[in-house]
Amino acid sequence: MQIEARAKINWALEITGLRPDGYHLLDGVMQPIALSDTLCIEKADTLSLTIEGSPLSAGEDNLIIRSARALQTFTNTHKGARIHLIKRIPMGAGLGGGSADAAAALKGLNTLWQLNLPMETLLAIGVKLGADIPFCLKDAPMRAQGIGEILTPTPCGRTFPLLLIQPCEGLSTKEIFTAYHQQNPMGGSVERVMEALKGGDLSMMEENAVNMLQTVSVLQKPVLQTAINSLYASGASFARMTGSGSVVFGVFERDSDARMAYEALKDQYPVCILTQTAL
């Protein structure tokens, strides 16, 4: 079988607290995008992983293998699979590529191994492996709260053309959260962001959407703000950093506007990807 593992963007990302175990409590809105990795899965006696398009480790530390092992342990199965990952989503980007791959593996192996586990069980397994995996399992516009496991479907009025830029290497999420506590930036209105997404209103989105990690990430990597400015200068109606970086995205009203921005910026930024939001 072949499964697409879609990347995501954060329209808004706010920090609302800190759990005793060190996990941050979040509130925000995420949406899948058309950019995806592909997992090709077939039956085999043992579990194995090969990777195309990335130097990622294919060993037991890979999140795909860890997800498969968690599924084996939960169901007490010894079935195997040959998994081949075609990697397109940039790494260290805030696009949720690793979580999307893990979610695709959980769904694919649940079918291949005929485990028939309900989505609620897959969500419970996934959240122990990574906070974004439940969202990637749902694979639809969502408000995400808690550590990312409390998901509320968010109506979305339309899709938008996107231009993704990765102007620097990946940032350390741990370091960014540490810096966040030293800055304590202001939030916006997640409810208004949801309303803007429902109505397809980028002006309302611009007024209310905040990624509270963006300010501290820009302090560490000013080129992030330079890239955001470039997106606005090239016609984006809305531009933000996704996750804790290092990708920033510009949202455009029309495909032709996004294409023009891509042509203007592709030589300046080696990682410059034209795509769109997805429902």
Residue 178 has pLDDT above 90, yes or no: no
Asked if residue 155 lies in contact with residue 143, where contact means CB atoms within 8 angstroms, the answer is: no
Position 124 scores a pLDDT of 96
What are the C-alpha distances in Å from 63 to residues 100, 129, 139, 162, 266? 10, 8, 18, 27, 31
Q: What's the pTM value of the predicted model, to 2 decimals? A: 0.95
Give pLDDT tens digits for 78-119.
Answer: 999 999 999 999 999 999 999 999 999 999 999 999 999 999
| Positive or negative: CA dihedral 120, 86, 56, 147 | negative
Domains in the chain with CATH codes: 2-153 (3.30.230.10), 161-276 (3.30.70.890)
- Give me 14's structure tokens: 């706010």
Backbone angles phi, psi at 54, to 5 degrees: -160, 145
Percent of the chain with pLDDT over 90: 86
DSSP assignments along 161-228, one per residue: EEEEE--SPPPPHHHHHHHHHHH------HHHHHHHHHHT-HHHHHHH--BTTHHHHHHH-THHHHHH
Q: Which residues are catalytic?
A: 8, 132
> What share of the chain has pLDDT > 70, as a percent?
99
Residue 170's pLDDT band (boundaries 50, 70, 90)? confident
User: Per-residue pLDDT tens for 2-34?
Assistant: 999 999 999 999 999 888 887 889 999 999 999
Mean pLDDT of 58-75: 97
List the one residue out of 242, 215, 217, 218 whose CA is nearest residue 95.
242
Q: Are 85 and 64 a contacting pair, CB within 8 Å?
A: yes
Residue owning tokens 């808004």 = 12
Burial class (CB in 10 A: 0-12, 13-18, 19+), 60: exposed
| Distance between CA atoms of residues 178 and 259, nearest Å | 37
Of 38-47, 102-111, 165-174, 233-242, least confident by mean pLDDT is 165-174
Q: Look at the chain and count its residues.
A: 279
Give me the residue label for tokens 């899948």: 32
Question: Quick check: bond before 246 cis, omega within 30?
Answer: yes
Tell me if residue 60 falls in helix, strand or coil.
coil
> For the segment 122-153, what is each residue's pLDDT rounded down to a tens digit?
999 999 999 999 999 999 999 999 998 999 99
Q: Could you tell me the pLDDT band of residue 273, with boundaries at 50, 70 and 90?
A: very high
pLDDT given for residue 21 in this prediction:
84
Q: Per residue in 193-203, pLDDT tens?
A: 999 999 999 99
DSSP 133-164: HHHHHH-S-EEEEETTTEEEE-------EEEE
